[in-house]
Amino acid sequence: MGVWVLRLGHRPFRDQRLTTHVALTARAFGAEGMILADRRDEALEREMERMGREWGGSFRVVSGRPWREVVEEWKREGGKVVHLTMYGRPLEEVLPRLPRDLLVVVGAEKVPGELFELADFNVAVGNQPHSEVAALAVFLDRLFGGEELRREFPGARRRIVPSERGKRVLELG
Ligand SMILES: C[S@@+](CC[C@H](N)C(=O)[O-])C[C@H]1O[C@@H](n2cnc3c(N)ncnc32)[C@H](O)[C@@H]1O
């Protein structure tokens, strides 16, 4: 199972860029994939497939599945569900109890109240309102202890050569 992200409340057009950033952040910070709840978005699926061909890895995006069904199925299969919310318990407190088969749920505007009951953990990345992208990045980085930033993305066509200045990119074919 690994770590997957469930993105709730996506509003077409308005949230397009932010939802793409949730997917890019999930991929770059070590998640296996992202599920976009309730709405099909083939453009997002195609865009993330293109990213994968170019930059490697096996990150997957699935869209259009009802959120409750995803959460219930995940739990039936033995995984735990973390809901990121500013109203939750502090991340530092919950972190030691988290397994590595996790569904990490992030919202857009308001999330359904039922989610607070269905989630195994309601977790706050600080108790101030900010953004699903920020919350997800900090959460995944703490979960993986920073190791995710050193991960290889196999099969990439392009790889960055870290440099003091300028942009160095290896074209691998
Ligand atoms: C624009 S915020 C919505 C804020 C909303 N008032 C709420 O219920 O958290 C969108 C999403 O960002 C995430 N988020 C924002 N601030 C957070 C925080 N301090 N801790 C954890 N997640 C947060 C949550 O997943 C939330 O659904």
Substitution candidate for ligand 1 out of 83, 85, 109 with most atoms within 8 A of CB:
85
Residue 167's region, left for phi above 0, alpha for psi from -120 to 50, else beta, is beta
CA-8 nearest atom, ligand 1: 27
Q: What is the DSSP letter of 128?
A: S
CA-132 nearest atom, ligand 1: 12
φ/ψ of 170, rounded to 5, equals -85, 130
Cβ neighbors of 76 (< 8 A, separation 6 or more) are none
pLDDT by residue, tens only, the chain of 173 residues: 899 999 998 888 788 899 999 999 999 999 999 999 999 999 999 999 999 999 999 999 999 999 999 999 999 999 999 999 999 999 999 999 999 899 999 999 889 999 999 999 999 999 999 999 999 999 999 999 999 999 999 999 999 999 999 999 999 97
Distance 27 CA to ligand 1 centre (A): 20
* Of 5, 2, 106, 131, the residue nearest 62 (C-alpha): 5
Which domain covers residue 160, as residue numbers? 3-171
170 forms bridges with which residues in the sheet?
Answer: 159
Q: What is the DSSP letter of 10?
A: P
CATH number, domain of 66, equals 3.40.1280.10
Going by CA atoms, what residue is nearest to atom 19 of ligand 1?
86
* Of 34, 29, 135, 18, the residue nearest 86 (C-alpha): 135
Q: How many domains does the structure of the chain reveal? A: 1
